[in-house]
Chains A and B, each alone.
Chain A
Amino acid sequence: MTAPLLEVTDLHVRFATPRGDVHAVQGVSLELAQGRTLGIVGESGSGKTVLSRAIMGLLPRHSAAMTGSVRFDGTEILNAPDRQLRKLWGTQIAMVFQDPMTSLNPVQRIGHQITEHVRIHLGVGRDEAKETALSLLMQVGIPSPVERYGSYPHQLSGGMRQRVMIAIALACAPRLLMADEPTTGLDVTVQAQILNLLSTLQRDRQMAMILVTHDLGVVATRTDEIIVMYAGNVVERAPTDVLFREMSMPYTEALLRSMPRISNPSHTRLDSIEGRPPDLINPPAGCPFAPRCPYAQSRCHNEKPPLVEGAVPGHSYACWFPIS
C-alpha cells in the first residue's frame, strides 16, 4: 500500500485564553489517500474547523499551540514556517471557505482574482492566465463566463460566488481540497449543486478532499470515510456505508436523529440533542458526551473511553457501551 497523501497523528490544538487553555482538538489521527474523500462531521464548536485549519497551518501562531504530526506527501508540515507552507498553499492544498459572501475580495473583479492567483503560481502570461480563468469559470458552471470575468463579487449571487471560490481553489490543480462547510451559507437547492460540482471535479481530477460539515446528509453520499467529532475528540470513525449501517456511538445516532426527515408526518417534533457541548477549558473527566447521552452509566462519567476498533475493519468508536 502506498503512503497516504495526508497523515495526521495525535494532533492537539490549544488556544491560550484569559480563562485558561482551550483544548480545541484533542489527539486526532487520520489518513487520506489520493483521490479519496473524507467527511468530518460534528456540531458547532466540536473542533472540526479548527482541525481543518490546523492541518493547513492557517491558525494564528501567536495564539494556537499545536502538537502532534501532520504529514503531507511524506513531509512534516505541522508548525512549518509560512515560507515552506506557501509552496503548498494553492498549488498542493487548497481550501474552499464557509462563507462565499466574505471570502472574495470586494474591490477586485473576479477575473482578476483568478488570473492573479494563476499567474503567481504557474508563472504564465496575462493572456494565458485569462484563458485558464475563463475555462475554470466554465468548468464550475458559471453562465456567460466572459461577462462574469469582469464582474465584482457583489454582482454575483451566493451560489455563483462559491463557484468562483471553487474555481480559484482549483486553479492550480491542488492534490488536496479542504472544503470547510462549503454550503452552509447557501440555500438548499444551491447546496446540492455545489456539492455535486465538488464531487464531479474531485473525481475528474483525482483529488483528495476533506469535506467538513455539520450535516450528516451532506457526507452520506459523497464521502468514502467519515470522522465524527465531538468536543475536540474523534468519537467515531468508519467507512461511510459502515457508519450508517453499524453506528456505534450514541452521539452519531443523536446527530442522525436530529435531522428532519421528509417521510415524517407534518408537525413531528424534531429530535434535538439536549444540553450543550462541554466546556473545553475544563473538560469532563469521563466521556465528553456522557452528560447529554441517554445511555450514560456511571463509568461513562468517570472514565474517558479510548477509540477502539470495532467488528468491521476500519470502524472505530470511543464508547464504553456502544449501541449495536
Chain B
Amino acid sequence: MTDEPDHDPTTKRLGFFFWLCVGFIALVVLLALIANLLPLPDPTFQNYSAPQNAGPGWGHLLGTDDLNRDIFSRLIFGSRVSLVVGFGSALIGMLIGGVPAMISAYRRGRTDTFLNTTSYVLLAFPALIGVIAIGEFWGHQLWKITLVIGIFSAPLIFRVVRASTLSYATRDFVMAAKALGASDRRILAREILPNILPTVVSFGLIVVATLIVLEGTLAFLGLSVPPPTPSWGNMLNEGSSLLAGGKGQTNPWLVIFPAGAMFLLLFSLNVVADRLRSYFDVTEVKL
C-alpha cells in the first residue's frame, strides 16, 4: 500500500552522473568562450618575475611552465583549439557527409551506389596520414586543420547517417507521407530527420571525442596549430620532455593538467553520448 514506487519504473531518467558530465562540458565551453574576459594572464606571456616550473599555488593556480607561462591560462585558452576542431570538424563532417547520406539513402539508385562505394574507399584511407600530408602542404592554421579533419570525418558520418536513414526510408509512414503528396525535402526534414536525430546526435558526440583525440595527436607531433598558441596537444608535447628530468628539470604538472583536462572532457562526451543513446532507444522500454 505505502511502498508504491515514487516513479513509473518504465520511464527512464538520465541521472545525476549524466548531468554532471553535461555540466563539465558546459563549463569547458563557457570558460573557452569568455576566456578573454577572465582575469587571466596572457597564455603566451613569459613572465620572468614569476617562478619557473612552479607547482600549483595561489599566484598561479595550476603553476607555471618552464617558460614562466601560467598553466591555468594556457589550459583555458588551449581548450579553444580542441573545442573548435572537435565540434567544428564534426559539424563540417555532418554537412558534407550526413546531408548527402540522407538524400542518398532515401533516393537509392546509382547515386547511392556511387557515394556508398566512395565512402568505403575513403574509409580505407588512413585519416591521420592524410591530415598530416595535407597539413604539410597547406599550413597549420586552426581553420585549415578543422576543415581537413572535418572532410576526413565525413565518410564515417556518411555511413552511420545512411544506415539509420535506410532503416526509416522504407517505413510505412514515409510511404504514407509520400502518398499524401509531401515533397522529398519535406519527407527528409519532417519524417526522417526527427527519427534519426537521437542516433545522429549521440554518434556525433563520439565523433567529437574522436576528433579531439586526433587533433591532440597532431598537436603532440607538432603538426597542428603551431606554438606559441596553446593547445592541449602541444602543451603535452612541451611538457613531455620535462616529465622525468629532461633539461635537468622535472615538472610532471605540465603533462598532468592538459592530459587530465582532455581525459575528463572525452570521458564526459562519451558518457553523455551513451546515456542519450539509451535514453532515446525506444525498444529498451517497450513492454
Q: Tell me the A residues contacting B by CB distance below 8 Å.
A: 56, 58, 60, 62, 82, 86-91, 94-95, 97-99, 102-108, 116-117, 120-121, 165, 168-169
CB-based nearest A residue for B197: A107
A106 cross-chain contacts in B, Cβ below 8 A: 173, 195, 282
CB-based nearest A residue for B282: A106
Query: Which of B108, B181, B190 touches A90 (beta carbons < 8 Å)?
Result: B181
CB-based nearest A residue for B174: A105
- A62-B108, A105-B191, A105-B195 as given contacts; A89 in contact with B180, CB under 8 Å: yes
Interface pairs A-B: 8 shortest CB-CB: A90-B181, A89-B181, A90-B180, A103-B172, A102-B172, A95-B179, A103-B176, A107-B194
B179 cross-chain contacts in A, Cβ below 8 A: 56, 58, 89-90, 94-95, 97
Provide 8 A-B residue pairs closer than 8 Å at the C-beta atoms, listed in order of the A residue. A58-B179, A86-B183, A88-B181, A90-B180, A105-B191, A108-B190, A108-B194, A117-B181
Q: Does B7 count as interface, using CB distance less than 8 angstroms?
A: no
A87 cross-chain contacts in B, Cβ below 8 A: 181
B residues 185-216 with Cβ under 8 Å of A? Answer: 186, 190-191, 194-195
Interface class of chain A by DSSP: loop
A103, B173: Cβ atoms closer than 8 Å: yes
A118 to chain B, nearest CB (A): 10
CA distance A3 to B19 in the complex (A): 67
A169, B180: Cβ atoms closer than 8 Å: yes
A165, B109: Cβ atoms closer than 8 Å: no
Query: Which of B172, B175, B184, B186 touches A120 (beta carbons < 8 Å)?
Result: B186
Q: Does B171 count as interface, using CB distance less than 8 angstroms?
A: yes
CA distance A58 to B183 in the complex (A): 13
Interface size range of chain B in the complex: 20 to 34
B residues 106-145 with Cβ under 8 Å of A? Answer: 108-109
CB-based nearest B residue for A105: B173
Query: Which of A60, A104, A120 touches B173 (beta carbons < 8 Å)?
Result: A104
A105, B177: Cβ atoms closer than 8 Å: yes
B173 cross-chain contacts in A, Cβ below 8 A: 102-106
Query: Which of A86, A97, A169 touches B175 (beta carbons < 8 Å)?
Result: A97
CB-based nearest A residue for B198: A107
A97, B180: Cβ atoms closer than 8 Å: no
A105 cross-chain contacts in B, Cβ below 8 A: 173, 177, 190-191, 194-195
Q: Does B99 count as interface, using CB distance less than 8 angstroms?
A: no
A104 cross-chain contacts in B, Cβ below 8 A: 173, 176
CA distance A169 to B190 in the complex (A): 18
- A102-B172, A165-B176 as given contacts; A91 in contact with B195, CB under 8 Å: no
A60, B108: Cβ atoms closer than 8 Å: yes
B176 cross-chain contacts in A, Cβ below 8 A: 95, 97, 103-104, 165, 168
Return the CB mask of B96-109 against A: 1 if under 8 Å, else 0.
Answer: 00000000000011
Query: Which of B172, B184, B194, B195 touches A99 (beta carbons < 8 Å)?
Result: B172
